[in-house]
Amino acid sequence: MADDPLGTVWQATAARFAPLARRVAAATGWQVFHPGDYGERWHARFRRLYPLGPAPLLVCGLNPGPYGMAQSGLPFTDLKRLVAALPRLAAELRGAGEPLALPGLAPPALRPFLTRTFESSSVRVYRFLAHAFGDAESAFARVVVVNPCPLLFIEPESAANRTPADLPRRLRARGMASTAAAEFMAQFDAARAACVDDAITRLAPAGVVLLGRDVDAAIGAPLRARLGESRVVAWEHPARAVPERWARGLTDELRARGLPPADSSRRRRG
């Protein structure tokens, strides 16, 4: 896949986390889904229709959401945003008979846990893409989202969506010894760091945005050592942020550091 470096990163990440999915499910009792794997058939079309240009902005989130990537195969993209903001992809999927109506690609076992029709983080991220690059289809030549963890976690007792930040507490609640839990998390975080390291090596990004404190804590320090402080932006996770303030604030922070969308904004003014 020399002509598809993002595909190489994407598929390597999915393969790296396949055994971890089984380990997390056994250790936590959560239902674990792998949209990084089953979502490949839509993500492959996305990569072909919106080829990534050189020196992109790399965005790293927590893990897939049940209303976003779990249904669309695309990080931070719910079906509403896919249809409205990615019309070329939507048209191709319709032509192929793919299910753009809810619940999209969501596996049958996940569907009983779905109670909404949109992903709140998707609203914020797509507003940022519009502010920074004009529209999402243009943005994805300059922006790439890579999930350091491509797994979705659902706690059956509460039907709640869980994240990697919830793992240590769940391991303790299930009676795992502290040393074993620490080793488990070290291996999990090492896998996350390896995914991002692979993305940086293959995609050579201009800079990296880390969304949320957990992602920053897990992979921020080695990234700053490798790329420099100015090229790594730690930003609030979009899930509960005020949409307009979040989107404009991130756009302004990136431009202040000379990271994309700085170049594209100068071209538009010229």
pLDDT digits (tens, 9 = 90+) for 155-205: 999 999 999 999 999 999 999 999 999 999 999 999 999 999 999 999 999
Residues 6+ apart with CB under 8 A from 138: 264
How far, in Å, CA of 104 to CA of 228, rounded?
40
pLDDT digits (tens, 9 = 90+) for 116-161: 999 999 999 999 999 999 999 999 999 999 999 999 999 999 999 9
The sheet that has 152-155: what strands, in order across it? 31-33, 152-155, 160-162
Domain coordinates in residue numbering, the chain: 5-269
> pTM of this prediction?
0.93
Tokens read off for 227:
């790329």
Q: CATH class for domain 5-269? A: alpha beta
Residues 67 and 116: beta-carbon distance below 8 Å = yes
